Structure 1
Amino acid sequence: MERVAMDEAYWSAVRTMRLRIAGFLDSLDPAEWDAPSLCQGWRVRDVAGHLALVPMITTWDLISAAPRARFSLHRINTVLAIRQGAGHPREIVAKIREHAGDRRTAKVLDTRNSLFDAIVHSQDIAMPLGRDFPVPVEYSREGLRRVWAMGWPFNARRNLDRLTLRATDTDWTVGAGPEVAGPSLSLLLLLTGRTAAVVDTLHGSGVAALKV
């Protein structure tokens, strides 16, 4: 029962994030949809397209895009995001809303990544636009737990375990060494490679060791 309750809480958080992102996207003007995101080479619309696609994507979608992407999973992700992001903003937002409660993704992917994926991409959209998109601390903490444990593609533990990472807004501390402290959301973006976007929100003797 405890595992079931945790799963329900997790998927409730995923649905909440997706619906909030859809509402946020509704507030953007056409120029903002075509603005660069924090994801290198992705516009805001491409990030939105990715978020719409995650709960719908199949393994066959990944396989069919592989030749064009030269069989790189990173490039496959980009090809599919740009393809989905080419749609009209209303259609993209409608898909995010329609599938907000879905609990699936391609079999070769992992639904345990759904929450942090939505959290991080919400910031990929909002931060370059100078917009604020708050995330509940408990969501960010769960994202930190997952990314620290998962290894590839971020390899956060391998890259950062020489430092002590400490959230200042929740009970989460990992690593050993000089401290890097800050809000859980900032640490989640750090773990997923968005260092330059959040370094000014972090403090401690370990900040100087971060690669921006």
Structure 2
Amino acid sequence: MIIDERRRTADLVESLDPEQLNSPSLCAAWTVKEVIGHLIAAVATPNSSALLLLLRSGFRIHKANARLAVMMADRPADELAALLRTHAENPFRPPIVGYPGQLTDLQVHGQDIRRPLGLPQDLRPERLRVSLDFLVGGRAVGFVPKRRPAGLRFETTDLDWAWGDGPRILGTAEAVMLALTGRHVALADLSGDGVAELKDRTSDPAGKN
């Protein structure tokens, strides 16, 4: 699944024009191209370079990741696509979040690119299920604060998947995935008596990714 998602992301990169690549993404202050840079940096950055950057960032992982993404995004788009294909089969397995975290990172950031550009979702149901299970399973460190889904029930309208007890939140699997990971734009696509509470938790600085 991860290998195929990396290759499909390479196809996406090659389909974008310069204006699209420099457009804002859903991911904080990153452009579309910087999001792509982040996805490549995870597998294409030498360990020595990553460690040096981590040192320079005061061992703040998120800050180091942001710098890596920006540095990688300086490369031409065709080179970024080539790097994704070259490293598509990289067996890197992040600690704690493991392969489900890698797959979820690719899917969420793919939507960070596609949504603001008005592109089709192009997501695979079986992969969405893996990511949804991961996001509510307690191991999604850096993806979902534990407080965010607690005491709520999530139900997807296009996939036979549900989780939790409490006020209900209904929506497509894509919208639920994005809302769980703090993408405010997805909240408008959800319904149910639990949406207001989820919105409060997503807006609360203590509950952000």
TM-score after normalising by structure 1: 0.86
Could you tell me which runs of 5 or more consecutive residues in structure 2 were left unpaired when the two chains were aligned: 204-209
* Greater CA drift, 156-165 or 178-187: 156-165
1:92 equivalent to 2:92? Answer no
CA deviation map 1:98-148 (0-9, x unaligned): 111222156687333111111001001111112123201111110111122
Alignment pair present for 1:152 and 2:145: no
CA deviation profile, 1:67-110 (whole Å, cap 9, x unmatched): 43232111111011111111111100110111112221566873
Question: Where does residue 61 of structure 2 map in the other structure?
Answer: 73
Query: After alignment, is 65-74 or 19-28 more displaced?
Result: 65-74
In structure 2, what residue type is equivalent to 1:177?
G
Map 1:93-108 → 2, pairs under 5 A: 93-105=81-93
Note the C-alpha offset of 1:58. 4.8
- Correspondence for 2:161 among 168, 172, 194: 172
The match for 2:171 among 179, 182, 189 is 182
After superposition, the Cα gap between the structure-2 partners of 1:72 and 1:109, relative to the gap in structure 1 and judged at 3 Å, is: farther
Structure 2 CA distance for partners of 1:105 and 1:151, relative to 1, 3 Å: closer
Q: What corresponds to 1:55 in structure 2?
A: 43
Question: Percent identity among equivalent residues?
Answer: 32
| Equivalence for 1:192 | 181
Partner of 1:33: 21
1:117 equivalent to 2:112? Answer: no
Which consecutive residues of structure 1, in runs of 5 or more, have no partner in the other structure? 1-12
Aligned to 1:21: 9
> Is the 1:147–1:156 Cα contact (8 Å) retained in structure 2?
no
User: 1:200: how far off?
Assistant: 1.8
Runs (4+) of structure 1 exceeding 4 A deviation are 105-109
- How many pairs are equivalent? 199
Per the alignment, residue 207 of structure 2 pairs with: none
CA deviations over 1:142-189 (Å, ceiling 9, x no partner):
011112221422334422222111112223222221100111111111
- Which region of structure 1 is more displaced relative to structure 2, 125-134 or 154-163? 154-163
Partner residue of 1:142?
Answer: 130
Which residue of structure 1 lines up, in the alignment, with residue 197 of structure 2?
Answer: 209
Is the 8 Å Cα contact of residues 94 and 102 (structure 2) preserved in structure 1? no
Residues 167 and 173, structure 1, Cα contact 8 Å, conserved in 2: yes
Most deviating of 49-58 and 37-46: 49-58
| Whole-angstrom distance in 2 between the partners of 1:184 and 1:135 | 10
